[in-house]
């Protein structure tokens, strides 16, 4: 069930966050974004990376909390890149945000660079989640935090949702992360999952 859930219709080479922003009512995407922000514990000096920034709404909220920090984002969709760039043009001009178009593997940042790396509805679109999580883990500073928030596009059996969370937990462990925590939130149209881990 878990393998099918991760590799089925949801696992397409598209931007899931951007697609959800189109399909779900804005009230629901706002709730999901707010819950994502709750997981991050942002500090004004941090270096932060968002994976799959979509329309750039969460980026904008994170940027408002930074003062001397730095916020990077990567997304494979040219359409999302254009929308996020327009939405965050003020922060980009201030060199607070730097957006990238393409895969995670092409990011120019060194190892141990980011305090926090997060993504919302992105992990389900990765061809090799374990490999991508290893890449992200390598970019975290010691004590840095990786947060993945995920909501299925349609209701699933509770067991399928929890099996999926456990599979991601295994991948985070393989990536070398510790203190892994799984949180659930009831939210329409399906239960949301937030999984976090720290680099030792």
Strand partners, 120: 149
Q: Average pLDDT, stretch 74-93?
A: 97
The dotted CATH code for 2-198 is: 3.40.50.150
**What three-state secondary structure class fits 56?**
coil
Interior angle at CA 33, CA 104 and CA 136, nearest 5: 20
pLDDT tens digits along 8-57: 333 333 444 444 444 444 555 788 899 999 999 999 999 999 999 999 99
* CA atoms within 13 A of residue 51's CA, in its CB half-sphere: 29
Choose between 49 and 3: higher pLDDT: 49
Radius of gyration of the chain (CA): 16
Choose between 151 and 77: higher pLDDT: 77
Q: Domain segments of the chain: what residues?
A: 2-198
| Percent of the chain scoring above 90 in pLDDT | 70
pLDDT tens digits along 118-153: 999 999 889 999 999 999 999 999 999 999 998 877
Dihedral of CA atoms 29, 123, 115, 176 in degrees, nearest 10, equals 150
83 contact partners, CB below 8 Å, separation of at least 6: 18, 54, 55, 56
For residue 88, pLDDT over 80 is answered with: yes
């Amino acid at each position: 069930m878990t393998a099918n859930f991760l590799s089925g219709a949801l696992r397409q080479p598209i931007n899931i966050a951007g697609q959800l922003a189109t399909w779900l009512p804005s009230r629901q995407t706002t709730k999901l974004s707010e819950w994502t922000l709750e997981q991050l514990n942002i500090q004004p000096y941090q270096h932060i990376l968002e994976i799959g920034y979509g329309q750039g709404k969460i980026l904008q909220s994170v940027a408002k909390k930074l003062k001397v920090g730095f916020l990077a984002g990567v997304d494979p969709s040219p359409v999302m890149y254009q929308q996020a760039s327009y939405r965050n043009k003020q922060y980009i001009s201030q060199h607070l945000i730097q957006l990238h178009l393409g895969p995670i593997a092409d990011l120019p940042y060194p190892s141990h660079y980011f305090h926090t790396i997060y993504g919302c509805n992105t992990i389900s679109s990765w061809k090799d989640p374990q490999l991508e999580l290893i890449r992200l883990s390598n970019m975290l500073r010691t004590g840095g935090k990786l947060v993945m928030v995920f909501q299925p596009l349609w209701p699933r059996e509770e067991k399928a949702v929890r099996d999926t969370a456990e599979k991601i937990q295994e991948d985070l462990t393989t990536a070398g992360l510790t203190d892994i925590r799984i949180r659930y939130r009831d939210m329409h149209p399906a239960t949301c999952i937030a999984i976090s881990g720290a680099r030792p």
